Amino acid sequence: MLDIAGFRARQREELAAAREVFGERFDAAVRYTELLATAGVQRGLIGPREVPRLWDRHVLNCAVLAELLPAGTTLCDVGSGAGLPGIPVALARPDVSVTLLEPLLRRTTFLEEVVRELALENVTVLRGRAEEMVGKLAVDVVTARAVAPLDRLAGWGMPLLRPHGQMLALKGDSAEQELADSRAGLTKLGAVEWSVISVGEGTLETSTRVVQVKAGESPGGVKAATRRAKAARAGRTAAPRTGERGRGGRRRGR
């Protein structure tokens, strides 16, 4: 039988934790959770069975990543899906500039609707794959949740980092094993330090386990550095010079 009293007590605890985490944006976080439970389920972004545990297992579980972010950080959420963890982080930290990177149209459509409804001025939705963004997008932090095994995820995420940036991957119970299996690959991708850490202790009933990977001078390794250099050269070549004639004989740069 369903323990109604226990369920309601847990809800009260979750809402109290949400007020602490989101502060002035608590109402927006409530609305986001409602959107996940309605449009998110209808569009196949959230499983119906997840609705009763949206706060603890999804929204708050992601929001506590904010503990690891320095002030004014730029962040890219790779394979953002329904906006997890990017939107909860953006709600908890208005000072962080968040890019939600997602290749599927139906998901980016949902994300754009959420961003508009919640008036999230610190969030940008970008449709595309991480490997297409090397040289076009560079951030301090890359996040991901339930996207891919760590070795593959690092191959997508590390090249998007600025020097000395960090990748934060929510991994749960598999964190240590995935990290052990990926160390050689992480070194090739320019990582200089990695560990499994817990965040949200004292706020969540079960803390969030995160693989934290810190990059050195060349995040993504040699291949990524080469692609970034090529993209930079291409950008300089494509940029019109002052006084250069464009179409129709008109001068550009006036």
Residue 40: predicted pLDDT: 96
> Residue 108 has what pLDDT?
97
Low-confidence ranges of the chain (pLDDT < 70): 1-10, 236-254
Looking at residue 35, its pLDDT comes to: 97
Separation of alpha carbons 10 and 112, rounded Å? 31
Q: Are strands 191-199 and 208-215 parallel, antiparallel or unpaired?
A: antiparallel
Q: Identify the pLDDT of residue 231.
A: 80
What pLDDT shows up at residue 3? 54
Cα gap 145→170, rounded to integer Å: 5
DSSP states along the chain: ---HHHHHHHHHHHHHHHHHHHGGGHHHHHHHHHHIIIIIHHTTSS-GGGGGGHIIIIIHHHHGGGGGPPTT-EEEEET-TTTTTHHHHHHH-TTSEEEEEE--HHHHHHHHHHHHHHT-TTEEEEES-GGG-TTT--EEEEEEESSS-HHHHHHHHGGGEEEEEEEEEE-GGGHHHHHHHHHHHHHHTTEEEEEEEEE-BTTBSSPEEEEEEEE-SSTTHHHHHHHHHHHHHHHHHHSPPTT-B-GGGPBS--
Count the neighbouring beta carbons within 10 Å of the beta carbon of residue 172.
13
